[in-house]
Amino acid sequence: MHYDELLSSIGSVTSAAQTAAARSINLVLTVRNWLVGAYIVEFEQQGEDRAAYGSRLLETLADDLKRRGVQGFSLANLKNFRQLALTYPAVAGPAILAALLAEAGGAGRLGHIRQTASSELVAGGDGPFPVLVARARDNPVLPWQDGAYYRRLFANLSWSHLLRLTRLDDPLKRAFYELECLRAGWSERELRRQIESLLYERTGLSRDREAVLAAAADGQSFERPEILLRDPYVFEFLGIEARATFSEAELEQALIDHLEAFMRELGRDFCFIGRQQRIVVGGEYYYIDLLFFHRRLRCLVAIDLKLGEFRHEHAGQMNFYLNYLKAEDTYEGENPPVGILLFAEKDDTVVRYATAGIDNQLFVSRYRVALPSEEELRRWLTHERQFLEGALEQRALSGRENLK
């Protein structure tokens, strides 16, 4: 072994140990926070003297813990711990809890926590947290959320991640962000950005809940382009929202300059091939703005950037590119290419007529160079609610028809 190899080996081992230690500490703290919240919930429901404290339980508890010199248990934190337990009541299941406590106890040497709580686990019963177990029964978890899932979730996501997720009321929406955090390794900052930019609402997933369930059940990513694509895409990281005008070339250059952030916004599994990809047809040169390969879809993805509104001739131009890519640039075993047209604005009726009858998979999305305004958020959420209400009404009608 050379000296450089020795130096590199020591550095690698040290880095791996630091990462493992950080993960262990994170798991211990997360389990502790959940346990504190769980004990509070149980006391609120079953404590013999709970009436004596009433609505001031958490304030009293925070004051008493502070007087005892226990740090980190402010009123705000106690509320957060309680919310964590209420958001993830299934963790109270004896088998799940025992596995988590064993892992946290072994990782962080918190044998006392493990023994204290584990001693309360009654074989065949509801363990130390019957209120939460009952809550989990009344609100069934999604099919894939078993003990292994919760151990992975608590071990890999920080307390800040989980706290952000507890603010999401819709279980399926929350599960979507949980899975994306686990798959893509989002930082808490990136998770916050994706939630604030309404990623869930911008994907086809919010309209195809069965796709979420099917994909998550076997741990796979979503394999249909219409599910993976977003509308709109949000490019606030470009920093050009204050400018009155900019050209398509400037927009393209800005995206390349911020390629990492751009690819995060596109989604997982996009691999960059090139910009202004030249193709030659009939002795003339044509240029595709951006070309990617998608690992999961196993196909080329051509992206064209346009200022202003979508016009029908844009669909013909992209269809021309896709026909060329399918005939000349698609390797054996790959799927046909997909095209994405990005516009500042689009009219859905024009898009529908312009793309009708096109065999290639061609999608038209909007882009924004700033995070959604409050008005846009309200409009999108209203649209989502109306869509879901319509879907539920249609499903109910179909069910009644089937009974006839």
Chain segment 353-374, per-residue pLDDT in tens: 677 777 778 777 766 666 656 5
pLDDT at 398: 56
* pLDDT per position as a tens digit, 99-112: 888 877 654 444 44
Give the pairing type, strands 233-234 and 270-281.
unpaired
pLDDT at 86: 94
Total-model pTM = 0.61
* pLDDT per position as a tens digit, 267-300: 778 888 888 888 888 888 888 888 999 888 888 9
User: Which amino acid, residue 253?
Assistant: Q
Could you give the CA distance from residue 144 to residue 113 in angstroms, rounded to a whole number? 28
- Nearest CA to 367 among 256, 231, 254? 231
For residue 247, pLDDT over 90 is answered with no
Q: Each residue of 37-48: b (16+ CB within 10 Å) or e?
A: bbbbbbbeeeee
* pLDDT per position as a tens digit, 381-402: 555 555 545 544 555 555 555 5
- Judged on CB neighbours under 10 Å (0-12, 13-18, 19+), 403 is exposed
Could you give the CA distance from residue 259 to residue 265 in angstroms, rounded to a whole number? 10
Q: Between residues 192 and 205, which one has the greater pLDDT?
A: 192
* pLDDT per position as a tens digit, 52-77: 666 788 888 888 888 888 888 899 99
pLDDT at 165: 95
User: Across the strands, what pairs with 299?
Assistant: 294
Q: Is the dihedral of CA 279, 283, 285, 288 positive or negative?
A: negative
For residue 315, pLDDT over 50 is answered with yes
Q: Assess contact for 30 and 97: CB atoms under 8 A.
A: no
Q: What Rg do the C-alpha atoms of the chain give, in angstroms?
A: 26
Q: Assess contact for 143 and 217: CB atoms under 8 A.
A: yes
pLDDT at 376: 59
pLDDT at 81: 93
pLDDT at 64: 87
239 pLDDT band, cuts 50/70/90, is: low
pLDDT at 84: 95
pLDDT at 220: 47
Neighbours of 299 (CB within 10 A): 19
pLDDT at 162: 95
pLDDT at 200: 79
